[in-house]
Chain A
Amino acid sequence: MTVAAEAAPVRRRRRRTPMQFALRRALDALVLVLAVVFLAPIVWGFLGSLREVYAGLTGPAIPSPAHWDNYSYAWSGEFAFSHYLWNTVVLTLIATVPAVMTSALAGYAFARLRARGRNTFFIFVLGTTFIPVAVVFIPFFWVVVKLGMYSTRWPWLIWGISGSAYLIFLFRQFYASFPTELDDAAAIDGCGHLRTFLHVYLPNSAAPLAVAFMLLGTGWWGEYIYATLLLPDQLVPLGVKINVGYYDPGQQFTLVPVTLAASILFMLPPILAFFALQKKLARGIVTTGVKG
């Protein structure tokens, strides 16, 4: 950061050739175009959410007047939005929070504890991410039913406790860059491995923790298939309900603008979380970047 700050004025003072100047402008234009392309779908979804309920997506590009009442209908019209929002929060939390903790702990073990078979085991853990969902799907349901966890949130908690191989990898990469003297200092200060992890490693992990919460949290927030197949209507998260869609009272056709409004409401919490964690997130991916 400081390097960049010092270098900037020097760079500005240097006179650019017309060619360089043109390239700069072209780059600015390019990034602007790309930003428009990347934002357009979201903006379009938002504009769609403000259209007249029965008009579908027709009408002028920018709806006028804007039908904000679509949002209140999305919130209370078809089903109790807040109830399912709460379901989503609960499922996301029980699947994410323990997972981040156990993944960090496992990542620390892989990065620091010298144990026989560690590297083989690590490759094995990474290998499990290659197992496609389809192959475990059905027997997984059988196991869930046998354990009496069908129609309950227990599977989410178990997913949570078991962590994620990808996050284990992420934490291992991050912790491998810690100076080993920190472990030594902690050992001399009287810490065992668990205490070293809790008091030395975890407090210094803000960046990868942010990345882990964001990646896993958004994944579970939007998870759809398992929730549909495993949970009764009372417990399903918002995604499942919204995907069914909003219908007119005669159940004839979908109310597209309202459905879009619900979609926008549904994506707001992860977007807000993303904005809140932004800085740490960018740094986290940089520091946990792929090495070797």
Chain B
Amino acid sequence: MATAETSLAGIAAKPIRRASFRRRETSAFYGFLSPWLLGFVVLTSVPLVLAFAMSFSNLTTVNLHTNLRYVGTDNYVRAYHDHEMWYSMQRTVILMVTLVPLWIVTQLALAMILDAGIRFLGLWRTIFYLAVVIPAVSKAFIWKAIADPDGGLVNRIVRVLGGRGDTDWLLDHPTGTLIALLVWGGAGVGMLIFLAGLKSIPQELYEVARIDGASAIRRFTSITLPLLTPVIMFQLVWGLVGAANVYVEPILLSSGLQQGLGSSVPVENVTFNLYALQRIFGDGDFGYGAAIAWIFVLFLLIVTALVFWSGRFWVFYGREQHGR
């Protein structure tokens, strides 16, 4: 037990000490983060607040300086009755539920093949990753060259196989074509992350399982998958956010921006995000566009929260959190 004297001395000494040591580290911390904070305030948080304010106004290109007023929840009510908005949300959901599993399965499959002790590992890894570094504009043109109804690669193959091969993929199956592009272009990064996850599983576990007589399938379901669940969770969340935010590729796959922002995008490819942008840039309907965008934020928030919450039932965090 400390005597009365020492505890008194302690009380007297403490404030001075805290100030010198801790505060310096804290101020360095916030100092090092200030560039990020600056950008965040200017580029994100101010616009975010403004967007929120806008969504309760009748702001359009026309009445920017006249007749601008508060309209309450009118924009949100309008969105509720807007069938096109619901349709675009449906398209986004379709993208999310198809793209994310396709991404994860492709990435994991590629990673497992690369992890199976195959020869020329570096070569295959490079090939599978290459599409990631290609700029979206180039990707879109390449895809148009593949999906072309006359001289496109797909139709040529169909013809060789005896089909008619006259499908205009971009018009007849716009979403399928878009998904194919995104799977091809988005598999690489996830593949490397899964590969890193696979490499971090101790080899001894597989050896023990082998000695215990577990089959290859059993080893996959009992060791690989459970230990990869944190990586799968990571990829799942990033995948969902990525899929929900698709809007550049549909624009580029149609004729681009020169004809108004994605006005020529086939309606199946008008994602939620893109729909909001069209209301803003196409119609100049800022208030309404902002309201839709906020609905989108809410939607994404709910989805990711649900996914994180589900993690407690299937993600295995066996490893110790370490370090400061």
Contact = CB atoms under 8 A, between A and B. Distances in A.
A5 interface: no
A29 to B, nearest CB: 11
A10 interface: no
Contacts of A290: 193, 196-197, 230-231, 234
Contact of A242 (B50, B124, B137, B319): B137
A41 B293 contact: no
B323 A180 contact: yes
Interface stretch (A65-73, A75-83, A281-289): A281-289
Interface residues of A, number: 101
B195 A158 contact: no
B304 A130 contact: yes
User: What does DSSP make chain B's interface, helix, strand, loop or mixed?
Assistant: helix
A111 B323 CA distance: 9
Interface string B116-137: 1111001011111111111111
Contacts of A38: 127-128, 130-131, 184, 187
Interface stretch (B37-45, B66-74, B77-85): B37-45
A273 B195 CA distance: 22
B25 interface: yes
A57 interface: yes
A242 B304 CA distance: 36
B273 interface: yes
Interface in A113-144: 113-116, 118, 121, 125, 128-140, 142-143
Interface string A183-212: 000000000111001000000000000000
Contacts of B234: 290
Kindly name the residue among B122, B135, B286 whose own CB sees the greatest number of chain A CB atoms within 10 A.
B135
Instruction: List the 6 shortest-distance A-B pairs measured between CB atoms, nearest first.
Output: A162-B39, A222-B135, A57-B151, A289-B196, A139-B50, A139-B47
Interface of A: 11, 27-28, 30-31, 34-35, 38-42, 44-45, 48, 56-59, 61, 98, 102-103, 105-106, 108-109, 111-116, 118, 121, 125, 128-140, 142-143, 147, 155, 158-159, 161-163, 165, 168, 176-177, 180, 192-194, 197, 214-215, 218, 221-222, 224-225, 228-229, 239, 242-244, 256, 259-260, 263-264, 266-267, 270-271, 273-275, 278, 282, 285-287, 289-292
15 contacts: A27-B118, A31-B113, A38-B184, A106-B35, A114-B25, A134-B289, A135-B276, A168-B36, A218-B133, A242-B137, A260-B142, A263-B138, A270-B134, A271-B134, A273-B133
Interface of B: 22, 25-26, 28-30, 32-33, 35-36, 38-40, 42-44, 46-51, 54, 110, 113, 116-119, 122, 124-138, 140-143, 145-146, 148, 150-153, 156, 184, 187, 189, 192-193, 195-197, 199-200, 230-231, 234, 241, 244-245, 247-248, 251-252, 256-258, 272-274, 276-277, 280-281, 286, 289-290, 292-294, 296-297, 300-301, 304, 317, 319, 321, 323-324
